[in-house]
Amino acid sequence: MLIATEANRVRLTAIDASAKAEGLKLGMNLADARALVPQLQTGPSDPAGDRSGLERLADWCGRFSPWVATDGEDGLILEITGVPHLFGGEAAMQQKVQQAITALKLGCRLAIADTPAAAWAWARYAEGGILPPRARLDHLGGLPVPALRLAPELSDQLATLGLKTIADIAKLPRSPLARRFGLPLLNRLDALLGDRHEPISPRALPAPWRSRADLAEPILTRPAIDALLQQLLDALCALLEQEHLGARQLALHSYRVDGEVQTLTIGTAKANRNPKHLFRLFHDKLDTIEPGFGIETFLLEATATDPLSAEQAALDSHGQASSNGFPQLIDRLEARLGRHAVFRIIPLDNHCPERAVGRARPLARASAISTVSDDLRPIHLLAHPELADMAGDGSAFRWRRVLRPIRHCIGPERLSAEWWRNGMDVTYRDYFRIEDEQGHRYWLYRSGEGWFVHGFFA
């Protein structure tokens, strides 16, 4: 049993079937529970751990439905519209889900209904199972009032008035109910009976383009995973081709028999639906998959797509996109080095040199890049300008504890402050190109705060 301190009282927060048989109930004081069962063993509750476990289970249930949401502290809601036929019907799907969750050594009660509210009520206050389509009061009317999922104080208030079942409430006139108990009661009743839409917020929005493989026997080896991924990519790229689309981001979800879900993601610089190229991007990342006791389901999703015309997808004699050599090189570099390690430097419209360049995607459009200044700029800038000491006669400067005699000096070039930055910059900077006697060339500037080394020339 799990316990937690609530309002200076230690209460039971989780009990098992044997505890129920002994007469224990959720919320019971620990002292009362020990009076009934002296040998009771307890442990501290872990709400954060329970929440994390429920979210992992929700992710794992993505193998059954693309639309999964957590529900309270101990429930899940799956939107299965258009899904049961993949499992042989609603009854077969319910049985498969029941068996899979039981294999994880978890208890559950499942219900299938037209509305989330009806499924919630049928699973928690009835025997569970499949409710007939458009189930109304003849099926749900006998459930207790708490099955409406009302606030506890409102349920208690209704009970004191003798309204114990949903049918007792539904047969009363709506206007007096609304005046006395407010709209929440009627809204919950309408949601239960399908007269009010109740949205479901999934943990992750499902991708419209996907391919999946449910395996009769779990697989463990890398060759088997490679072969299966190639089949999934072929199927997904065929779907994208029908819609003249190419993938920009792909996610591969692997569902293990022990309930763990592992996800690999890749991205492309340009839309692509070449299965061989996409497989190469996944290839090295597949080494990170841990099969455990086996993987029984794979799901491949195109989480982002762009239009891809037939001309763009034309293949050369080697099966590669004839005009996509450079984008595919970018894809391979990003797959090996990381998406944020591959970029291009572009000039920006800023006076201040440290803000005059920025990073952009490797294939950023030229129209988004401003013109480069005609003034000579160093090839390397320091992350932050470093203070230097200039001799009074300008014959040398000291930087990083080394005195550097000056051979040549060109300047100054005045850069004014950016007034739109609310005076955050100094008023001006006078930049000089300086060469020392060793042939090293520096970019120094003078401001009201002194001399600074800002960069180096080749």
Each residue's pLDDT tens digit, 59-75: 999 999 989 999 988 89
H or E, element range at 435: strand 428-436
DSSP string computed for 240-300: HHHTTEEEEEEEEEEEETTS-EEEEEEEEEEEE--HHHHHHHHHGGGGG---TT-EEEEEE
Query: For the purposes of burial, counting CB atoms within 10 Å of the CB of 31, is it exposed (0-12), middle (13-18) or buried (19 or more)?
Result: exposed
- Give residues with Cβ within 8 angstroms of 268, minimum separation 6: 246, 247, 248, 249, 278, 281, 327, 331
pLDDT of residue 369: 46
210-322 has CATH 3.40.50.1950 classification: no
Query: For the purposes of burial, counting CB atoms within 10 Å of the CB of 105, is it exposed (0-12), middle (13-18) or buried (19 or more)?
Result: exposed
Which tokens in the block code for residue 321? 């996109």
- Comma-separated ranges of CATH 3.30.1490.100 domains in the chain: 210-322
The CATH class, in words, for 2-45 is alpha beta
Which segments within 321-427 are labelled E, that is strand?
Answer: 344-347, 357-360, 380-390, 396-399, 402-416
- Comma-separated ranges of CATH 3.40.1170 domains in the chain: 2-45
Q: Which residues of the chain have pLDDT under 50?
A: 315-322, 367-372
pLDDT of residue 319: 47
- Rounded CA separation 202/438 (Å): 65
pLDDT of residue 355: 77
H or E, element range at 216: strand 209-219
pLDDT of residue 371: 47
- Rounded CA separation 208/305 (Å): 10
> Would you call 361 helix, strand, or coil by DSSP?
coil
Query: For the purposes of burial, counting CB atoms within 10 Å of the CB of 115, is it exposed (0-12), middle (13-18) or buried (19 or more)?
Result: buried
Residue 237: other Cβ atoms inside 10 A = 24
DSSP state of 146: G
pLDDT of residue 317: 39
